[in-house]
Structure formats: C-alpha cells, structure tokens
A and B are shown apart, each in its own frame.
Chain A
Amino acid sequence: DQQVKQNSPSLSVQEGRISILNCDYTNSMFDYFLWYKKYPAEGPTFLISISSIKDKNEDGRFTVFLNKSAKHLSLHIVPSQPGDSAVYFCAASYTNAGKSTFGDGTTLTVKP
C-alpha cells in the first residue's frame, strides 16, 4: 500500500502562471513533510518543508500547504519559471526526516 501518492505524473504550465503540485498520504503518524526537486542526472535537492503543527510555509516563490484532516499537501510555485522544470517529489516522515517515504514524483514543465 503506497503511503505517499502523487496522482499527477506530469503538469505543464505557462511561464508566469501558478504551478500547483499535489500529494496525498495515508499514514496519520507522519509529522514532517518535504518537497524535493530533481533535475535529470542529478540527485534530488531539498526545496521546502512543513511540520504537522503548521498549515502553511512560505519560501520566496514556493509555498507548501498542509491539510491534516484531508491528509493532503500541495506545493504552489508563483510565478513559475522555465528553470522550475524538473521532477518534484513529495516526502513524508515521522521522527526522522532521513527515513522518508517518497511519492512517485510529478514532472513539471514550464513553457516560455
């Protein structure tokens, strides 16, 4: 049973518009959530995170929202830029962010 799901394998948006990437989880024990970004032939890099005691965290153009009752989180990128084109992984953990459970990723394409 997949505990972290990213139901959209791909997303295409126009430069300057908002990108919204979604993630659902099933394990109510998860208390820390992270988003990683991955370019081809590189390792994932950390983007933004949120603790379960919060419902929103912002870092520049990136905002993560957490809805605990729905077991759902989303990543908003505003405005989207061509350099944001990458695979985005949602990850969830409890007690140790190193032992994260990852979703399958969403490939974001931002068109100029």
Chain B
Amino acid sequence: NAGVTQTPKFQVLKTGQSMTLQCAQDMNHNSMYWYRQDPGMGLRLIYYSASEGTTDKGEVPNGYNVSRLNKREFSLRLESAAPSQTSVYFCASISGQGFNSPLHFGNGTRLTVT
C-alpha cells in the first residue's frame, strides 16, 4: 500500500502564480486534511474534508481553496501565491472509525514562493 501520496515533492513559484497540490490516499479513509509546517514550527490545519462532498476551513485557510474530488483525492489550490505561503504542505487522512484515530500523513510538498 502506498498510503498517502502527494505530488509534486518540490515546487518553486513566483509571487502571483497559481498551482494545485495533489493528494491521494488508498486506505479507503473517509476524512482528509491539509496541514502546513513552517520552519521550526508545528503543523497548522489549512482545510479538511470530513467526508466526500464536504470541505471546511481549518486554522489558516486564507489564500487557499480545496476540492474533494472523490473519496481518494483531496487537492489544495493556491490561486495567487505569496512569499508567506512558502512552507511544507502535508496531506493526511484518517479512517474516521471513531473520533480518535490518528492521522496518516504523506511525505509533503516543499513549496517556495519567490
């Protein structure tokens, strides 16, 4: 099993450019999440999707949009990238079997905005 797969692994954007970060999970999990991690800091929740067809804002949603394309895929879009969005982005999923299931993370997308 691949688990949670994120593409691309690395990306450099210029200010104002747009891009979509892709995420797919093969564990048949119901809920999916996008977190960002800035240097020396913990992970902060951007958006999440509790189930197919639903999305909700997390702690730091400004400047992002998401799409839950189907049960497997959850994408994150930056419409107009800013240097403050330079970060490592992690996608994660959770089985939803009870509220206290841990997150399964992908290996991240390292984004630099110049």
Contacts and interface: CB of A to CB of B under 8 A. Distances in A.
B45 A99 contact: yes
A27 interface: no
Interface residues of B, number: 25
Interface stretch (A11-19, A41-49, A60-68, A74-82): A41-49
Interface in A10-52: 32, 34, 36, 41-46, 49, 51
Interface string A1-17: 00010100100000000
Contact of A89 (B31, B43, B101, B104): B43
B102 A46 contact: yes
Interface of A: 4, 6, 9, 32, 34, 36, 41-46, 49, 51, 89, 91, 93, 95-105
